[in-house]
Structure 1
Amino acid sequence: MKAIQVHRAGGPEVLELTDLPKPHPGPGQVLVKVEAVGLNFADILYVAGEYLVRTRYPTIPGMEFAGVIEALGEGVEGLHPGQRVAALGGSGAFAEYALVPARSVLPVPAQMSAAEAAAFPVSYFTAYFALATQARARPGEWVLVQAAAGALGTASIQVAKVLGLRVIALASSEEKLALCQGLGAEVALLNTQGDLVDAVKNATEGKGVDILMEVVGGEGFAQSLKMLAYRGRLLVIGSASRQMAQMYPVSLMKGNQSVIGVWLTPFLSDPAEMQAATAFLMPLVASGQIRPVVGQRFKLEEAAEAFRFVLSRKNTGKVILEP
């Protein structure tokens, strides 16, 4: 089978198209013929050796994908060959076939395309756990979504609206802001405007946002803190700037504010949390109330170009690789 393999830490230049033996499922595993792969910024960090888990080389990147089950390992129940599924495997998706534990497989509605299914797991489960679990969002609260036209951003807007939240979207172009407004954002602001803190305060009648989804980090982190309302919660979900952020914890005291980390991976091994998230999200998918935004598509052999595209910050929705 064709696969993208990485032998050393680096950027797009270390992605190598190679031929590898087709894997066979062991006990508790599912072999899936990959139809589409969702490219996440976390994949770029993983290849670079900068992710939250240690990268062991050689490796095949790709943490989320969709495809059709080809074979089941011993002991797997509730799934069948020919069934389209989405999967969160951690790695291994940049290939024509991928092995994943059966517990990591999620059946998807028939009306969902392979690309939409591949764009679903990471972004929507992250958005749910961020807003509903970590932030304990309440209807009527204001949430600010950074990089709002991206994969996580578009998912977060949709989940926020279902939760009854009021959304402020930040993005880098008018075209991206229009997309966010179409998804339900009440306020859309260019992230380059100089008076951003004032604009956020004005939009919220002077109080600031109750929840802020922070994915950029670096120098902008201090600005994000200034946008919080009394008892506001800043959710640290990423650091696209790949720069260190500084914070003075005592500054949180005056407003009884919180800074909360959000990482999807530990939730995946918690059956109760995953059951709650799945019960919330899947009916919304089936009804069409939430729908992944699919962005630029690339062939598997164009993985390096796809990496560069994501790093250019030009993408909207989820960038997709197709074997």
Structure 2
Amino acid sequence: MVEPLTGDERHLGGSARRVQFSRLGGPEVLEMVPFTLPALASGHVRVAIDVIGLNRFEALFRRDHYVITPTLPAALGVEAVGAVLDTAPDVEGFVVGERVAILPIQSPVVGTGTYATHADVPVGALVAVAADRSDEQEAATWMAGLQAYTLATKVPIQRGDTVVVTAGTSSVGTALIQIARDFGATVIATTRTAARKPELLALGADHAVATDDEDLVGIVASITDGVGATAVYDTVGGALLVDLIAATAPFGHVLCYGAQTSPDIRAARVDVPLVALDRRSIAFVDLFELVESPDRLAAAKAYITDAGKRGALCVPVDRVLDFDDVQEAHRLLEAGRLAGKLLLRVTRP
């Protein structure tokens, strides 16, 4: 919980700092700068941030490899947890001092950006944090949970389905494994190497496959008595996508939400024989088709909150670094060997 702030700090942001980049490049272009928040806009809430959730697309954005080109200097951040400092006069439902999570309802930055000590965000991006939930739990949950819920409900998972989840040790992969299991599906999760298969099983997957040295198509066929997977959730792309399509059942669906094999998401391509799609569908699914639908977003918030309370959804935290170690955090993002969510904690004087 943040310490009480003075009147000037509450309304002007005090000695606020945020991360920005003024040129494109690697983690070294990230700089910590002081900034002054403008007058609080209508429909917005000012938050003192305690814990920040990091996402791989932010590293792509920094290099201009994301779907949206940055306008320099560019801020960063779409999710965090903190305490309400102030609200615009037209905002209802939140009070000063209340703990809140900031949700990724905008891309590539929410409000003034959450890689910061303070941020102004639209009230629609906030959910209250329950007293029994830690800042780390909440900061790890929402981006992963919302993206996974979007995928799992795009073509609704039915009890008895068999699904494939690639990159299962990532935060979204973990959430997908757990949500699919909660919906009653059998989950086949993949990782590149056999060394990480035990992690997938510990996360709740029914079966684990190491795609570097195992026959994914054959294993899925064996598990499903030759039928194939009802749905495949893929964030890897590249050559693996051919096998994933082959492992999909007739009238099944391949839902892509990333392309880790491509350093630039805009350069990623789908290259498969047309006949491979016979009686199968393939689509790219982004989070914002959910957050732009009020009814779907409300349902997602309710489900994720309930699943967290029941213990059905628990996204692990790989590590928590200090806010000032943001460059090191981005090196870890780009290395791609995380087991769960990477977080930054703001330390206040």
- After TM superposition, is the score higher than 0.5? yes
Map 1:46-125 onto structure 2 (within 5 A).
46-89=61-104, 90=106, 91=109, 92-125=113-146
State the AA in 1 paired with 2:268. Answer: M
Q: How much has 1:11 moved relative to structure 2? A: 2.3
Cα separation, partners in 2 of 1:98 and 1:299, compared to 1, 3 Å = same
**Is the counterpart of residue 16 in structure 1 residue 36 in structure 2?**
no
Residue 155 of structure 1: aligned partner:
175
Which residue number corresponds to residue 337 of structure 2? 314
Q: CA deviation at 1:252?
A: 4.4
SS at match of 2:60: helix
- Residue 213 of structure 1: SS of its match in structure 2? strand
CA RMSD of aligned residues (A): 1.8
Return the match for 2:49 from 8, 22, 34. Answer: 34
Map 1:165-244 to 2 at 5 A.
Answer: 165-174=185-194, 176-242=196-262, 244=268
The structural deviation recorded for 1:24 is 4.6
| Identity over aligned pairs, percent | 28
The aligned residue for residue 314 of structure 2 is 291
Task: Please state how far the C-alpha of 1:190 moved relative to its aligned partner.
Answer: 1.5
Check whether the contact 2:17–2:32 (CA below 8 A) recurs between aligned residues: yes
- The 2-side partners of 1:171 and 1:246 are apart by 20
SS at match of 1:120: helix
2:22 counterpart of 1:7? yes
Which one of 274, 294, 298 corresponds to residue 297 of structure 2? 274
In the TM superposition, residue 191 of structure 1 has moved relative to its aligned partner by 2.5
Q: Aligned equivalents of 2:102 and 2:338: distance in 1? A: 23
Distance in 2, matches of 1:268 and 1:244, equals 24
State TM-score, norm by structure 2: 0.87
- Give distance in 2, aligned partners of 1:222 and 1:253: 10
Q: Distance in 2 between matches of 1:80 and 1:155?
A: 30
Code of the residue aligned with 2:168 in structure 1: it is A
Which one-letter code corresponds to 2:207 in the other structure? Answer: V
Structure 1 contact 109–286 (Cα < 8 Å) conserved? no
Kindly provide the CA deviation profile for residues 225-265 of structure 1, in whole angstroms up to 9, marking residues without a partner as x: 111111111011001112633334732453x1011221012
Larger Rg: 2
Query: Counterpart of 1:258 in 2: which secondary structure?
Result: strand
Q: Note the C-alpha offset of 1:173.
A: 4.5
SS at match of 2:233: strand
Distance 1:312 1:253, change over 3 A: closer
The code of the aligned residue for 1:236 comes to C
SS of 2:314's equivalent in the other structure is: coil
Q: CA distance change for structure 1 residues 177 and 248 in 2, over 3 Å: closer, same or farther?
A: closer
The verdict on how the C-alpha distance between 1:175 and 1:79 changes in structure 2, with shifts beyond 3 A counting, is farther
- Give yes or no for contact 1:252–1:258 (8 Å, CA) kept in 2: no
CA drift of 1:64 comes to 1.1
Cα–Cα, structure 1 residues 289 and 136, in superposed 2: closer, same or farther, change >3 Å? closer
Q: Secondary structure of 2:321's match? A: strand
Matches of 1:15 and 1:106 in 2, distance apart?
A: 29
The one-letter code of the counterpart of 2:213 is Q
Q: CA deviation at 1:175?
A: 5.6
In 2, distance between residues paired with 1:193 and 1:63?
36
- In structure 2, how many angstroms separate the alpha carbons of the residues matched to 1:147 and 1:117? 22
Residues 176 and 11 of structure 1: is their aligned pair in 2 closer, same or farther, counting only changes over 3 Å? same
**1:194, distance to aligned residue in structure 2 (A):** 4.3
What is the one-letter code of the residue matched to 1:53? I
Residue by residue, what CA displacement relative to the aligned partner does 1:73-111 show, whole Å, maximum 9, x if unpaired?
121101111111111254211111111100011112221
Gaps of 5+ in 1: none
**Cα shift at 1:200:** 2.4
Corresponding residue SS for 1:199: helix
Structure 2: which amino acid aligns with 1:247?
A: D
Aligned length, in residue pairs: 321
For 1:23 and 1:44, how far apart are their aligned partners in 2? 27
Name the counterpart of 2:9: none
Q: CA deviation at 1:267?
A: 2.1
Contact 1:161 1:167 in 2 (8 A): yes
